[in-house]
Amino acid sequence: MSWLKRSLLGLLASLGIFIAIFFGEVSRAQTENQAAAQAFFERAQHDTQGHTNNWAVLVCASRYWFNYRHMANALGMYRTVKRLGIPDSNIILMLADDAACNTRNKFPGSVYANPGRQMDLYGDNIEVDYRGYEVTVENFIRLLTGRVEPSLPRSKRLLTDDRSNIFVYMTGHGGNEFLKFQDNEEISAFDIADAFEQMWQKKRYNEIFFMIDTCQANTMYSKFYSPNILATGSSELGENSYSCQHENDHDIGVAVIDSYTHYVLQYLEQINKTSKATMADLFANYDPVRIKSHAGVRSDLFNRPLSATKVTDFFGGVAQIEVLDEPIPSLPAFSSAQEQRLSEASSQGRSSDRPSSRDSSSQAHPISANHPSFPSRAKWHSGNTPPANELIGGAGRDGLWAATAIVGGLIMWSRLRVSLRI
């Protein structure tokens, strides 16, 4: 009987050691998975300078036909950010929208920014989110801070977070620390500064690039005090911002674009989504002689060097791509017998009568590896790799069986003790 007791005790000790090792391995696997996830997000943060999505807020604060150029300014920026990858869902356009269909417009339904009229900025794909009298100071501040009515549609909301880079562009008539909204009200430099501070406190942005084209534009960012803001303007204190005279269109009858915005857009036309151009390159392109005003830059609140900040960090979209380092399994090869059967079937098909056009169109054809419906190597790899949670789930089921075995062993041992005492 003592031999039986020792055997049972040894069995229980072995089971205890097995359980300890097993759950230790499960814990180690979970730790490794967490470390891998953390490394992925750290790498993504490094690769995208801390941001995962880009937004653009484009504001034309003017209205009426004689301010045609301000609408062309905003529409030119709209076309550029859209071309560089920011989707319409991430672009908020505030526009009076009274130029394209104005009775004085010789080219109805169109807005041009040059006398040659090579490109219609209005086009077929324009999406104006705030139109006409919706372009107000209150709506602009509510848009930035997110303090909107629950019934407001998604297209009128700035759905940003603490990993969003935001490009804010404003154009219109202004002066020392103010910008007029449709000749009806004004927004001050203090208003915008306080709105940006609310956004920072509410974690609504990662970085902001503020650009404004108006008279004495540089005064509009003089009151900013929130971190991670880069700002630029078209003119200094006491200086006007002019229209681009050599781009006037006599058929339209008014100036079609402002000088500062014209040269900024001219530079941006030279870059694409993969461009390495930096904000330092953009600012170095400023020429007071051509612009006819002294554009300014404020970067003391910005925590990155301008030479390391890409233009596409604000004007372009963000694409998340992960490169797989593991070897990718090849597709299973056919055996010689399978190949022989396939060749026989194909020869029989060629010897049969030619089918009708409808039948031939519905016949199955071999799919090449380059066909869109053929699974890519990355998808094949991901589809044949079991997720980590499934591995852990299987380990948990094994642990349940082990725990059941231990309980059963304890019950048997207790019964044997009782029988030995009897």
Q: 51, 70, 173, 262: which one is catalytic?
A: 173
173 is catalytic: yes
Of 215, 262, 371, 381, which is the active-site residue? 215
User: Which amino acid type is present at position 235?
Assistant: S
The rounded distance, in Å, linking the Cα atoms of 359 and 21 is 63
The CA-based angle 240-246-248, given to 5 degrees, is 90
Provide the token pair at 3: 């031999």
CA distance 207 to 49: 10
Q: Is 244 a catalytic residue?
A: no
Active site amino acids: 173, 215
